[in-house]
Chain A
Amino acid sequence: MLEKQQNISNGVNENQKIKIGWFSFSCCEDNTIVFTELMNDHWQEWKKIFDFRHARVLKSNNVLDDLDIAFIEGAIASDDHISKLKEIRKKSKKLVAIGACAVVGMPAAQRNYFNEKQKQEIEFLIARFSALPKVLKVSDVIKVDAEVGGCPMDPQKFLEAVNNLISEIKSG
């Protein structure tokens, strides 16, 4: 059961909302769901302190401009993913890898460990989708400032990471 969370809005100037991006790559989006469940208790506070610039699960008009915190869920499965991830990194002060697929690659990277027969079965699909020969974790591609592991992510650890980053952004 979730404990009542600590208040992360302390000291944040409402006129300077923290710009957030939430991005999903190759995964089951379980962290997105945990995130929307955390909103049940936190939406009033988050509405005040966060400016969701890019979150396709929440809104249609998404822009990828300068972000304070980018949350990355999922593993990296294609060249398109790599270039998108690099672009997000460039535009984000802080970048957090969220959930097992982003942090360690699995289970999205399970095809990396297939036997020869299984590899042959999927070969045409890998080619068809221009997918990478091996699925990567986020830190294989770019520098990561924080990680919240778990399948799905641990809600408490997520809130702690967010708190820490807000403090760093405020002091930086």
Chain B
Amino acid sequence: MHNTDFDLKLDRLTKVEGSASLELRVKDDRVEYVHFKITEYKRFFTQALQGKPIIALPQLLSRICGTCSNAHIMASIEACEHALGIEPTEQTKLLRDLTMYGLNIRDHALHLYLFALPDIRGKDAFLDFDENDPVEHQMLHDGFEIKAAGNFLSELVAGRSVHAPHPVIGGFLHFPDQKGVEEAIRKLEAARPAALRTIEIFKNQPFHFDRKTNFMALVPQDHYGFIEGCINTGLDECITEEGYRDHLEHVVLPYSQASGYKYRGGSYMVGALARINLAKGLLHSHTRETLKDTLSVFPSTDIFLNGLAQAIEILHCLDHSVEILKTRKFAPEPIIKKPPRETVGIGVVEAPRGTLYHKVVLGADGIVKEGEIIVPTGQNQINIEEDIATLVNGLLPIKEKEKLNFEIEKLIRAYDPCMSCAAHFLKVRWIEPTRRRE
């Protein structure tokens, strides 16, 4: 083999959220380095939030990322409410659960069908699937039906799937009407068979990549969800709300200045696989009863089961949403307001791609002094790079570079990275600046 040294550059990865690129160097048939990089231009939200009135913060930070926007809104609202000392009502908590369910149904289906499934079917794009082929016909209809159900739920509860206008600090500005609730139940129930087929597809998908790593996720006390709970570090501890600030400031943030996030010296993964690994027992009872055998494959360290974990979460979100919508009535409530004070608030939620931290430092005048945001893809960066190195080392020596590209992209897609978020927070391994403008 003469091809022992080479550089590989994937300029812009496709079928991921946002713009990412990859640089990899192989020397003497071993990977020398892997750099998973951003190609998005920074929009400087950490600076832009300084000097803004607190009431404007959630909608501003929503603009970090389109597809994760409603998760950023939830994390920011929680941070602001912790700063102000606001305890949301029970109805508000339910509406926030539903907001996160709509988001996860829609966003997971986007990843599973539009990004991941073409690799499994050997097609370039989901829209290239053959409507005359019964299997692919079903997939096309299922993918868009699930996404539409999640989109409808988001519109009903939060006002929109992207940059939702209804949720605010202290409550909601608008409440679901009965007609909308009934239609949502119908759509969510109709999507359930499609969700079950999705689970079968991703349970039986042919790709596997196993590597031991640690998993971290916000794990709720009672039901599987995305907003409440303690941060399970995967190391026999669960950090409660009182400990969020200490955890963020002493563990997570210092690493944001380093080369990537680690916990107690080891890399870790966040996202659906981490959540299912740590909290599958809390899934909705209907979901658990339906998926007894499927759930037994977890906990797993196979990154390609992240897709299966997302599909299972879709089912949970459908089942719990239907239960809430069938059993609860929603009535208008006033927004809870509290005077500003000089303080710090931390919000932690599970975004579709993993644990998302927002920190706000508030002045007594109600103006934000500073803030921090830690996104899931930043936390997964070391894992992604280490996995690619292991993958490539296993494939070397390789003659077909295209196959190598494909295998790498497939692995990255399994993580479902979000580059719009990561643009601001992914660690840049800077080798040598090339200045084109003087």
Give the CA-CA distance A78 to B435 in the complex, in Å.
12
Task: Report the count of interface residues on A (CB-CB < 8 A).
Answer: 50
Is A170 an interface residue, CB under 8 A from the partner? no
**Residues 53-77 of B at the A interface (beta carbon under 8 Å):** 60, 63-67, 69
Is A4 an interface residue, CB under 8 A from the partner? no
Cβ 8 A contact of A58, one of B41, B48, B126: B126
Is A141 an interface residue, CB under 8 A from the partner? no
In the complex, chain A residues whose CB is within 8 Å of the CB of B114: 36, 57-58
Is the Cβ of B65 less than 8 Å from the Cβ of A29? yes
Is A33 an interface residue, CB under 8 A from the partner? yes
Binds A, one of B14-22, B207-215, B269-277, B336-344: B14-22
Binds B, one of A6-14, A64-72, A85-93, A106-114: A106-114
Q: Which 8 A-B pairs have the closest CB atoms?
A: A30-B66, A59-B125, A40-B148, A77-B41, A60-B14, A26-B41, A28-B66, A33-B66
Is B7 an interface residue, CB under 8 A from the partner? no
Size class of the B contact interface (CB-based, 8 Å): 35 or more
B268 smallest CB distance to A (angstroms): 26
Give the CA-CA distance A131 to B67 in the complex, in Å.
25
| Residue contacts A-B, CB under 8 angstroms, 23 given | A1-B155, A1-B156, A25-B41, A34-B161, A36-B147, A37-B106, A40-B147, A56-B14, A56-B15, A57-B15, A59-B14, A59-B127, A59-B128, A60-B118, A78-B41, A81-B41, A107-B43, A114-B47, A118-B50, A122-B44, A128-B430, A130-B435, A130-B436
In the complex, chain A residues whose CB is within 8 Å of the CB of B144: 39-40, 43
Is the Cβ of A30 less than 8 Å from the Cβ of B163? yes
Is B124 an interface residue, CB under 8 A from the partner? yes
Is B429 an interface residue, CB under 8 A from the partner? no
In the complex, chain B residues whose CB is within 8 Å of the CB of A127: 433, 435
Is the Cβ of A130 less than 8 Å from the Cβ of B434? yes
Give the CA-CA distance A27 to B62 in the complex, in Å.
12
Is the Cβ of A152 less than 8 Å from the Cβ of B127? no
Known contacts: A36-B110, A128-B433. The answer to whether A30 contacts B162 by CB under 8 A is yes
**Residues 76-133 of B at the A interface (beta carbon under 8 Å):** 106, 110, 114, 118, 124-128, 131
